[in-house]
Amino acid sequence: MELEAWRGRGDDLHPGVSAALLHLVGAADQPVLVVSRPADGAGVEVPRVRWANAAAADLLGVDADHLVDLAVSRVLRGAGAPTALLHERSTRFAVQALTAGGGARSTEVVAWPVPLGAPAVRTHLRSTDAPPGDRLALDGEDYWVLQVALPTDERASATLRAAEERFATLAQASPVPTIVSDVGARLSHVNDAFAELLGVPADTLHGTGWLTHVPEEERGAVVQAVADVLDGDRTSLDTRLCRADGQLRWVQLRLAPSRTPGYGAGFIGTVEDVTERLARESRLAYQAQHDLLTGLPNRLALLEHLTALLAAQVHPVRSPHATALHPVALHPAAAAPHGASPPVAGGHPVGGAVGVLVVDLDDFKTVNDGLGAEAGDEVLVEVARRLSRTVRGADLVARPGGDEFVLVCHDLADADAVAATARRVLDALVAPVDVNGLRLRLAASIGVVLLSGSSGSGEELLRDAAIAVAEAKAAGGGRWRVLDDAVRSTARRTLRLVADLREALARGAVEVAYQPVVHPGRPAEVVGVEALARWQHPEFGVVDTETFVALAERSNLIGALDAHVLTVATRELARWRAAAAAGEVPHAPRWVAVNVSATTLSAPGFADGVRRRVAEAGLQLSDVCLEVTETALATDLLACRTVLEGLRADGASVAVDDFGTGFSSLAYLKDLPVDHLKVDRSFVRDLRSSGEGPRGGPARAVAAAVVSLARTLGLGVVAEGVETLEQNEVLVELGCDYLQGYLYSRPLTAEGLHDVLRAGGTLQPRPVAEEPEGPPAAGPARPATVPSPRQVRA
Amino acid sequence: MSATPPVTGPPAAPPGPTSSVDDSAVAVLGRLSAALDELPAQRPVAARVIAETDDVRSDARSLGHTLGFDPALTAKVLRLANSAYFGLSGRVGAPSFAITVVGFATVRSLAVAAMAGLEDTPPCLDSFWERSLLTAVAAGEVAARLGVKAPDAFSLGMLSRLGQALLVRCDPVEYPALLAAASSREEVLEAEGRRYGVTHTRVSAEALAAWCFPEDLAHALSQVDRAGWAVPLAVAVRVGLELSERILDPARAPRPVEHLTAGHVREAELDALRAPVQRTAADMVRLLTS
């Protein structure tokens, strides 16, 4: 090949070029010598130096001129060997360069035979008419060019070696697993950290040994990364490695190309164990999606699941059987012979709807409050375990929060399937749960919503299911309700009412009606009024009082409602007082009674609110009676007592509303911070003159007992719901201080009451037409109030 | 053709007058010397490839370009690059990438093998490629343990028996007879020493030196069957030879590997290498001789 290369380069070389080349070689850093020996000497003659450049002279410490004609072996020991110089090709061999000073340096020589094709040779051939193709004999000599490799710079190589050793030490001691390949995918070095990562001796990882730790499914990617890095690209990939003990570790493999002259391309790689980091990340991801107490999917995961299900309902996956969605229409011949069996697609009943069951534990608050949060947690964990056992593989149990669980069940083909599932859930909770040595019996209410094409978002689904739960709870708990259209529309109407009520309260659009409380007599004097909230809905008309008070209680509006009524009523009372003072009316009511719910009563700042509003109206607390139900008092007696006693100390009076319908016991009554009892209308209603016994019938005995009890405790008595003269008479006879009812007046507007006061402030008892159930036209009024006890006593 | 004392000399210069080497053996050595000069001219591309692999300016692309002129050699490099040994099975398509994968040393060995005409090994060299590749793979596997570069160990292992092919070529009657009479590798070496004054590994080393192989590689190969201390690279080849003989010649008395390696490699380690080496070598034999 070399010969080929020499041939054909330029024809007749210009003498100037020859001179330039000679100059170049003469000035080169590399020692160059030209040697020759007789062509016909059969290799026995010693080759001799014919020319040497300055670098060769420097190396050998002899002037170039003095080198000429020296046997080459005199200066380059080993170059004289018969086999060192060949005609056919270049050779390379080691020699000892002998310097003038007697030193010897090991180095290498490359010897190039001067070929036939060299331009100068050709010139010579032409001049001597030698037959072409013969091997050249210039002056009967064969010539070679000897190029001496410069003696290695020992300091440079030591530096290089030191650098290599530093790198090796660094890599070996590095805590980062490191791998090195000199060539291809075969490793030549791995450090201790890498061997440790895989739990095997480093030896076994050399060559392709490390690849055996790459799991089969990852190998393609790893090998591709190696191929890329060998091609010169830096590369990085996440993959797994299998330890000797079988454990899989996630690693990030970073490969950088490296090239070793004379060997080819390899790479240097670092292998970072990211298992812990990934585990942490996946743990976080898990936590983001799961309830940590029960391990069930949380609200976020549930909503994602529902969203996916809803999307699948909108865009069902097309299958070969998808046309079976309407099998009868499309394939009349295939109409199900059994008629009743549901149409089937892909082996699943088409009607197999997905149902969302919201399971809410009944009275869980009691467990939590009574036994502590830890006990509550135990119960929740047990419930989670039981619910998980009731569902099938594809179904989901989630805990969106609190004591609420959600089941997403598939294949709820019909109402029976829904019922069976709900019953299964309730049954699962029947067995008692042992907590803190107590056996708790759990019950739950279940609201069911079936997914349909028109289902809204996941959030809406859960809201709908919550409505159904509320229905189930309202029906007594321990049961289930499917959200049907009726329930849904009721719920929607309720939502609407709540929104409108909030708005009406904000605008002050809830009206207040006043029912006179009279001192019995003919005529009876109006001594007080009970303020009653009335709400005229712009669309639905007058809303039933029970309804909107219940709504206000459920939607946390009751405080605002109570405050509104107190504000308006005190303002009106102040107006009537002013009218009386001006001589416009003979006298004004002595007090106004307002209802206070349990929630309002226990809200912080209630007492201050009452004081402020009363003061703003320019009244005294003694002008106000707070009417509280027995139930409210029972809920939080201690807190109520503190609040009420404070207000009473400043003059306010307190009445127990609906007395006799709650759980009042005598012992309990005597400690209550109240001034007054209000006999419930149910006792008053039964007071009739007909029948055997004393006037007023058997109910009289009850009413008498109540009145007598109040008297014994030193409390005033008001009877409400008085509608007939008979009732009036009996109550007067029993010694009731005040009366209230349709017999005297229905609840009136502020103006209506003003008219009554203007007319003298007295009322004539006037029996109403037979109306068995309570206040009819005045329906929306809130149940009656109690007069201020002090005023009553006054 | 090297002038380095340990390597040069013997092939062309018979040992001293006390040697029992006869005249015909001297003639064989002469033919051998001539062959070393002639063979490169017969496979000029391979010769060029060998020269280029030792040139620091060469890279896979330039070497691939040269290699491309010898399709048979290119095919071998490609097949080898796709063998399990190099870990990239089936992913190597371009010759230049194949060179990157197997490394210059291996390309050079393949070029030498091509130049020496090892594609058609004479029938008297029983399981020549099996032995050579078992030696190569095993030497490559123990290289790191001995602190030498695996590609060097691999290529020397592969070429350690090159001398046998040359001896058959230059002594076509006597050498096969010599082989047939010997029952183990040790007997072959002994017989070679008696007849030629040198062993075939020494001839292999000589050929590498003659064909411009890096000096230290030829030097190492010359030490393989020489008694006493040897450079680590030579030790790697010794281990390779030992394992290949154990596998292919189970009747032969094994030589303790601790002795061969001055304790660097233990018997247990060699046993552990046996199966994978056998598997890999079988894969390569299939690829290189098909």
Separation of alpha carbons A335 and A294, rounded Å: 47
**Listed residue (A452, A5, A135) closest to B51, CA to CA:** A5
Q: Which domains does chain B have, with CATH numbers?
A: 1-21+123-290 (1.10.3210.10), 44-116 (no CATH)
**Cα B85 vs. chain centroid, distance in angstroms?**
17
Report the pLDDT averaged over residues B91-118.
87
Q: Is B138 in CB contact (< 8 Å) with chain A?
A: no
Q: Who among A84, A94, A227 is closest to B215 (CB)?
A: A94
pLDDT confidence bin for A340, thresholds 50/70/90 = very low
- Please compute, for residue A641, the number of CA atoms within 13 A of its CA located in the half-sphere on the CB side: 10
Asked if B88's CB is within 8 angstroms of A264's CB, the reply is: no
Q: Who among B12, B37, B104 is closest to A262 (CB)?
A: B104
Contact A282, A261 (CB under 8 A): no
Q: Which of residues 166-195 of A touch B (CB under 8 A)?
A: 182-186, 188-189
Tell me how crowded residue A765 is: count the other CB atoms within 10 A of its CB: 23
Q: Which domains does chain A have, with CATH numbers?
A: 2-151 (3.30.450.20), 166-279 (3.30.450.20), 292-315+349-483 (3.30.70.270), 500-793 (3.20.20.450)
Q: Is A230 in CB contact (< 8 Å) with chain B?
A: yes
Q: Who among A83, A92, A231 is closest to B97 (CB)?
A: A231
Q: Is the pLDDT reported for residue B218 higher than 80?
A: yes
Q: Is the pLDDT reported for residue A344 higher than 50?
A: no
pLDDT confidence bin for A785, thresholds 50/70/90 = very low
Q: Is the pLDDT reported for residue B205 higher than 90?
A: yes
The region, left, alpha or beta by phi > 0 then psi within -120 to 50, assigned to residue A402 is: left
Q: Is the pLDDT reported for residue B14 higher than 60?
A: no
Separation of alpha carbons A245 and A187, rounded Å: 22
Q: Which is more confidently placed, A289 or A253?
A: A253
Q: Is the pLDDT reported for residue A492 higher than 80?
A: no
* Chain A positions in Cβ-Cβ contact with residue B96 (cut-off 8 Å): none
pLDDT confidence bin for A776, thresholds 50/70/90 = very low
Asked if B102's CB is within 8 angstroms of A183's CB, the reply is: yes
- Cα distance from A264 to chain B (closest Cα, Å)? 5
Which residues does residue A238 pair with via DSSP β-bridges, in sequence order? Answer: A252
Highest-confidence range of A44-48, A59-63, A666-670, B278-282, by mean pLDDT?
Answer: B278-282
Q: Is B270 in CB contact (< 8 Å) with chain A?
A: no
Q: Is the pLDDT reported for residue A188 higher than 80?
A: yes
Longest dimension (CA), chain B: 57
- Predicted confidence at residue A12, as pLDDT, reads 64
Separation of alpha carbons A732 and A743, rounded Å: 14
Size of the A and B interface in Cβ pairs below 8 Å: 140
Amino acid at site B44: P
| DSSP, residue by residue, A237-291 | EEEEEE-TTS-EEEEEEEEEEEEETTTEEEEEEEEEE-HHHHHHHHHHHHHHHB-
**Listed residue (A68, A92, A66, A89) closest to A81, CA to CA:** A92
Q: Is B140 in CB contact (< 8 Å) with chain A?
A: yes
Asked if A78's CB is within 8 angstroms of B4's CB, the reply is: yes
For A557, A610, A782, the CA distances from A785, given in Å and listed in that order, are 20, 17, 9
**Listed residue (A535, A517, A606, A519) closest to A566, CA to CA:** A606
Out of A39-43, A341-345, A403-407, B273-277, least confident range: A341-345
**Cα A130 vs. chain centroid, distance in angstroms?**
97
- Predicted confidence at residue A697, as pLDDT, reads 66
The answer for residues whose C-beta is within 8 angstroms of residue A407's C-beta and 6 or more apart is: A355, A356, A357, A359, A387, A390, A391, A395, A396, A397, A398, A421, A425
Query: Is A686 exposed, middle or buried, given 0-12, 13-18 or 19+ CB atoms closer than 10 A?
Result: middle
Please write the tens of the pLDDT for every residue from A351-367: 468 889 999 988 888 88
Contact A434, A428 (CB under 8 A): no
- Predicted confidence at residue A661, as pLDDT, reads 67
Report the pLDDT averaged over residues B146-173.
91
Amino acid at site B58: S
Please write the tens of the pLDDT for every residue from A89-122: 777 777 888 877 777 777 878 888 886 555 554 4
Contact A515, A530 (CB under 8 A): yes
pLDDT confidence bin for A252, thresholds 50/70/90 = very high
| DSSP, residue by residue, A708-734 | HHHHHHT-EEEE----SHHHHHHHHHH
**Listed residue (A110, A92, A106, A115) closest to A147, CA to CA:** A110
Q: Who among B12, B38, B60 is closest to A264 (CB)?
A: B60
* 3-class DSSP state of A231: coil
* 3-class DSSP state of A88: coil
Which residues does residue A237 pair with via DSSP β-bridges, in sequence order? Answer: A253
Separation of alpha carbons B170 and B163, rounded Å: 10
H or E stretch at A143: strand A141-148
Amino acid at site A257: P
- Predicted confidence at residue A554, as pLDDT, reads 79
Highest-confidence range of A127-141, A366-380, A448-462, A745-759, by mean pLDDT?
Answer: A745-759
Mean pLDDT, chain A, whole residue set: 80
The phi, psi pair for A189, rounded to 5°, reads: -140, 145
- Predicted confidence at residue A125, as pLDDT, reads 44
- Predicted confidence at residue B180, as pLDDT, reads 93
Q: Is A1 in CB contact (< 8 Å) with chain B?
A: yes
The answer for residues whose C-beta is within 8 angstroms of residue B43's C-beta and 6 or more apart is: B70, B111, B114, B115
Find which of B7, B52, B88 to mutate to test the A interface (most A CBs within 10 Å of its CB).
Answer: B88
Contact B232, B216 (CB under 8 A): no
- Predicted confidence at residue A86, as pLDDT, reads 79
pLDDT confidence bin for A770, thresholds 50/70/90 = low
* Chain A positions in Cβ-Cβ contact with residue B89 (cut-off 8 Å): 223
- Predicted confidence at residue A663, as pLDDT, reads 57
pLDDT confidence bin for B268, thresholds 50/70/90 = very high
Separation of alpha carbons B1 and B37, rounded Å: 9
Q: Is B214 in CB contact (< 8 Å) with chain A?
A: yes
